[in-house]
Amino acid sequence: MPRTGSITMSLPPFAGATRRLILANVAAFFGFALLGWISQPLQTVVGGHLMLEPWAVVHGELWQLVTYSFLQTGILGPVFAMLTLWFTGSLLEGSYGSRWMYELYFSSVIGGAVVATALSFTHLFGLNPKAAAIGPYGGIFGLLIAIAMLFGDQEFLLWFVLRVKAKYMVAIYILIAIAVLLKSSDNFTALLQLSGALCGFLYVKFAPRRGMAFGVTERYFGIRNGYYRWKRRRAARKFEVYMRKQNRVVHFDQDGRYIDPDEARKDPNDRKWMN
């Protein structure tokens, strides 16, 4: 929880995109657990097609680039993941809006999965493309990097105990992930977290201030309006040629708007029309 003054135990707002992401993760957690209670073999089969496995992704199971982030096992892991998502997501969403936060989160989830999948085939650090990973930490690490970049001097209560600045807190998370990548058998999960952090960094660094969707939409309407202006100018030129053939002269401005000759002859300094 971010603090710049005295420490309190007040919680951030639970609303908007942050709430929807947490509720989606909680629903997926209990739905997957219920599936295991109904049929353990069916849970294993379904989970095998939803978790992120690089070998399966390159063979067509592209939905895994998203679905892996909604699968979680255990109890404490999901609880801490959702608390981290709550605190980081609410701070970013309150400052930059829901759409921006959605884009950052899923850019980190999907981009991190793509980068980790590609790197797994290099076999660096003992990586194996048939390894698998689940959990939302690809997206969460993207949020953490954004916090460090945008609110680096903001103070948090790390694990509700240690007061630390955001940039140092995120550095701790990154160093732990690097240590796991180098030393642990679960190195693909650590790679996924670091890849999510990288994609979060790239999003904050290069995406438009109001989000990629807004930037794409703004670019589309700019191109469309430019096309319409070009059509209007072309139609104006054709009309001028037609009117000259009729021994009449008409004029249009550079945007294709008709210029009234009576208005053009008016003296801008003439005040006779005023009472």
Q: What is the DSSP string of 141-153?
A: HHHHHHHHHHSTT
Closest-CA residue to 2 (of 136, 169, 194): 169
Low-confidence ranges of the chain (pLDDT < 50): 1-9, 273-275
| pLDDT computed for residue 216 by the predictor | 56
What are the backbone angles phi and psi of residue 152, rounded to the nearest 5°?
-60, -35
- Coil, strand or helix at 14: coil
Cα(11)–Cα(1) distance, rounded to whole angstroms? 7
Q: Does the CA dihedral 127-129-135-136 come out positive or negative? A: positive
Reading the block at residue 99, the tokens are 């759409």
pLDDT tens for residues 84-108?
899 899 989 988 889 999 999 999 9
**What letters, b where the CB count within 10 A reaches 16 and e where it falls short, cover 68-89?**
bbbbbeeeeebeebbebbbbbb
Amino acid at 239: F
Q: What phi and psi values does residue 15 have, to the nearest 5 degrees? A: -155, 170
Q: How far apart are CA 1 and CA 159, in angstroms?
A: 9
Is the distance from CB of 207 to CB of 145 less than 8 angstroms? no
- The reported pLDDT for the residue numbered 217 is 57
pLDDT for the residue 208: 72
Read off the amino acid at residue 218.
Answer: E
| Tokens representing residue 19 in the block | 């709430």
Q: How far apart are CA 111 and CA 198, in angstroms?
A: 9
Are 128 and 188 in contact, with CB atoms under 8 Å apart?
Answer: yes
Distance CA 13, CA 108 (A): 23
Region of 236 (left: φ > 0; alpha: ψ -120 to 50; beta: rest) is alpha
Q: What is the mean pLDDT of the chain?
A: 83
Query: Closest by alpha carbon to 62, among 113, 26, 102, 10?
Result: 113
